[in-house]
Amino acid sequence: MSDLERHQTIVELLSSQTFASVRELQQTLGVSAATVRRDIDKLNDAGVARKVYGGVAALEEQLWRRRPSPLPFVENRDLAVEQKRAIAQAAEGLVRDGSSVIVHAGSTCFTFGCRLALRNVRVFTNSMPLAAYLAENGTCHLTVGGGDIHREPGIVYDPAPGAPIHYAAQFFVGALGVSSEGILESHPLLVRFVKEFSERANEIIVLVDSSKFALRPPVVALPMQRITTLITDDGVSAADERMVRDQGVNLIIAETSAGPQ
């Protein structure tokens, strides 16, 4: 198989999935890991795919054209990394020492939650990756939700009545999409989780990178009227910025090195 044929195969693969690992491409193309990595470098340099940790990912603008669906955590954490870090830093500034917070699942919330590891706060989370990180690296007070393990979307959750109830000053939540209606999801378990835990906090703070404004999942998990603050990055469009402010939501725009597009 020629270089061109391998590159076309990788691009076609990314048209139906968001991420391909080096090992997967080795098996698909029948070449060495070194050859796969060189192919990934060339596709990245050509601007037709993105080199990420462990493999290659579809360009974000290509993701926006697809029917939105939750990505596995291990894939999503390598998308919009700089934006998520900037959002997480801005969100940490809202957390008061000695307070209690609920941190939702997802890669943006994970990035934010890791910043609380050494803070004097009580963190409640159902996120398996975040709980594991804080347990190993943190000194904050950590409470993990009980129930069944749902490997995707990566949460521990017990929907049964009578489960322990946790209240907090702030609920930090991500979303698959954002519109004037509110934050949008497609996974029914996440919709239920968001609605349930939004009743247990004084403030609801949404953490989403600017690409989420282009996605339209089918279900409103939480209407805009319930949201206290929304934090996004400086790639947000003027129209989306105006939409959020017109809904009466406090908007915080985190600066990145790329700046506004």
Question: Does 80 share its domain with 62?
Answer: no
pLDDT given at position 163: 55
Using one digit for the tens of pLDDT, what is the confidence trace for 97-147?
999 999 999 999 999 999 999 999 999 999 999 999 999 999 999 999 888
Residue type, 200: R
Question: Is it the case that residue 69 has pLDDT exceeding 60?
Answer: no
Question: Does 116 share its domain with 244?
Answer: yes
Q: How many domains does the chain have?
A: 2
The answer as to whether 203 is a domain residue is yes
How does 223-232 read in b/e, with b if 16+ C-beta sit within 10 Å? ebebbbbbbb
* Helix (H/G/I), strand (E/B), else coil: 198: helix
Q: For residue 222, give the nearest of 184, 176, 188, 168 by alpha carbon.
A: 184
For tokens 């939480």, name the residue. 222
Q: Is the dihedral of CA 212, 215, 217, 218 positive or negative?
A: positive
Question: Does 244 share its domain with 212?
Answer: yes
Question: Does 176 share its domain with 62?
Answer: no
Using one digit for the tens of pLDDT, what is the confidence trace for 181-240?
999 988 778 888 899 899 999 999 999 999 889 888 888 999 999 999 999 999 999 999
Question: Does 84 share its domain with 168?
Answer: yes
C-alpha–C-alpha distance, residues 127 and 107, integer Å: 10
C-alpha–C-alpha distance, residues 40 and 25, integer Å: 10
pTM, two decimals, is 0.73
* Helix (H/G/I), strand (E/B), else coil: 101: strand
C-alpha–C-alpha distance, residues 128 and 145, integer Å: 9
The answer as to whether 71 is a domain residue is no
Given a contact cutoff of 8 angstroms between Cβ atoms, the answer to whether 153 and 130 are in contact is: no
Question: Both tokens of residue 114?
Answer: 């890791």
| Percentage of residues of the chain with pLDDT beyond 70 | 89
